[in-house]
Amino acid sequence: MDLRRILERLRRGEIDIDEAERIIRLWGIEEIENIVKYDIGRHLRRDVPEIIYGEGKSEEVVLRTVRRVLEHVDRVLISRVEEGHIAKLLSLKRDGYEVKVNKVARIVVVRRKDAERKHIPCKVGLVTGGTADVKVAEEVRTILEENGCEVITLYDVGIAGLHRAIEAVRRLKKEDVDLVIVIAGMEGALPSIIATLIDVPVIGVPTSVGYGAGGKGQAALLSMLQSCPLGVAVVNIDGGVAAAIFALLVCNRLARRLSRVSKKKT
């Protein structure tokens, strides 16, 4: 049960203040079969979705963890899944859950059917240098769209054909995006180029695309960290989840600010 449901039950008189307090105090660390220690209240503190890292975990552990987490929240995302994880998670449909799979991104969304459909008045531009970077971009897109952001995707616009990057910037300006996530491997120059031409924050995501000296994302990471244009934040190599959550925190904050301003005007 999430905090909103507890407060709604309290307002309707279904529980008293003491019972509401007791339930809320139970929200701490929940141990799942001595394998996983789940922080129940994290989504309340941070206002971001619960994301379970699937890689390296058995199919049964992932499935049991998802079931327990869904006792407290209305949706959960599982990143870096493998085929076996997907098959197990799809079985949750029989229990009445909605399961959405993005195989390119290796990410799965499981939600209760009564889950709130979110909408945040925030628009994020999502740009990749090459087609090989799309798997990371799709991870970002899935997380942001599931949490109510509008995402404008511009894939394969790398600097090997600079006119493509210029055209992408025109589209980003036309769409009036609030921030841009730029995903690139190889030499990783694309975030710097876009940051030079646009007036919103840029999040750079280096990918492990590339080989030889400086390959596997090393050159891309260092290039982005040494970006000359100001206003570029950088996450780790292949850090799609980190970039998405950074953007979501910004969008959530913008939405709260706009809501307060709107209420003051009325």
How would CATH label the architecture of 123-253?
3-Layer(aba) Sandwich (3.40)
pLDDT per residue over 114-164, tens digit each? 888 889 999 999 999 999 999 999 999 999 999 999 999 999 998 888 899
Residues of the chain with CATH 3.40.50.1970: 123-253
How would CATH label the architecture of 31-111?
2-Layer Sandwich (3.30)
Which residue's entry shows tokens 């999040």? 203
pLDDT per residue over 235-246, tens digit each? 999 999 999 999
pLDDT band at 257 (very low <50, low <70, confident <90, very high): confident
Residues of the chain with CATH 3.30.1370: 31-111
User: What pLDDT sits at residue 171?
Assistant: 96
What values do phi and psi take at 137, rounded to 5?
-65, -40
CB contact at 8 A, 201 and 237: no
User: What pLDDT sits at residue 71?
Assistant: 83
pLDDT at 22 over 70: yes
At position 224, the amino acid (one-letter code) is: M
CB contact at 8 A, 7 and 17: no
Question: CB atoms < 10 A from the CB of 177, how many?
Answer: 21
Question: CB atoms < 10 A from the CB of 244, how many?
Answer: 35
pLDDT at 1 over 70: no
pLDDT per residue over 48-63, tens digit each? 888 999 999 999 999 9
